[in-house]
Amino acid sequence: MRRPRPERWEPPWRRHVHGLARKQPQKAIGPAIGTALRPSPHTSPRVFLSSFTSGTVTRRSNSVTIIALAAILALGIVLAAHALADRFKINFTQSLPRGLYAIHSAAPIVVGDIIAVCPPTSLAPWGLSRGYLIAGPCPEGAAPFLKIVAATNGDLVDVRPDAVVVNGHTLPNSARERFDHQGRLLNVGALRRYRLTRGQFWLYSPVPHSWDSRYLGPVDTGIIGRAEPVWITGDRSALNIVVSLAKPRT
């Protein structure tokens, strides 16, 4: 006959703790989980399995919704940026005060206006390679720039060695330079006179190294519109030139 196994000796404090545990009812955590996971005899296997995947499907649908909303928002930002790019121009160069300019494409252009213009396609690749231009939506991949209209239809422009003279008036800081600010040779053409015709504009900026009509010649293509300062900062002396050149609008 098998002898009963002697009880394991426990210290009194442990017996006291075990006694309290037996007196207090325990929460049926394990059985509750087991009951929740146990399928009902009236539940089909497909419905039972769907109870495990419904949370995953919900999380996936939420993720898809968030991604779709983010894509729509990004598309809206891109479309808004293109729309604003047609109406506003930010100037980062020294040719004119830095800041934000509003573009009016339908406004008539007269002497003294600031205009946004795409660079001539024949010179745009060269200007990009030299760093005179930045990338943008214009032909040849250049960005439009801002210049002052110093002469237009009927005006006489005289390109001299020391300055550019329009109708007998010398434009400040308009002498052509042989080298740019990095010591590279500039595309200096021959000295000559121009009698501008309809649709031609002489672009100008009162900055010695400005890449304008003193190197480009008269411009008759790529005109985007008249530009007005909205918010500018820095040196505003160029705007005084604009005022002095301005002609009354007809």
**Looking at residue 103, what is its pLDDT?**
93
How many structural domains compose the chain?
A: 1
The mean pLDDT of 93-106, rounded to a whole number, is 89
Asked if residue 82 belongs to a domain, the reply is no
Q: How far is CA 76 from CA 66, 73, 151, in A?
A: 15, 5, 40
CATH number at residue 149: 2.10.109.10
Residue 136 lies in a domain: yes
85 in a structural domain? no
Domain membership of residue 232 (yes or no) is: yes
Domain limits for position 156:
92-245
pLDDT on residue 36: 47
Residue 87 lies in a domain: no
pLDDT number for residue 225: 93
Q: Please report whether residue 196 resides in a domain.
A: yes
Q: pLDDT tens across 69-81, in order?
A: 777 766 555 444 4
Q: Contact, 101 vs 89, CB < 8 A? A: yes
pLDDT in tens, 10-67: 665 555 555 554 555 555 444 444 444 455 555 555 554 455 455 555 666 677 777 8
What's the rounded Cα separation, in Å, for the pair 216 and 203?
9
Consecutive H or E run containing 127: helix 124-130
Q: Residue 183 is which amino acid?
A: G
| In-domain check, residue 67 | no
- Whole-number pLDDT of residue 28: 47
Q: C-alpha distances in angstroms, 29 versus 25, 32, 35, 55, 173?
A: 12, 5, 10, 22, 88
Highest mean pLDDT among 104-108, 136-140, 187-191: 136-140
Report residue 5: phi and psi, to 5°: -75, 130
Name the one residue in this structure whose structure tokens are 């729309």. 83
Would the pTM of this model clear 0.85, i.e. be above it? no
Per-residue tokens: 120: 């001539």
The answer to whether position 3 is within a domain reads no
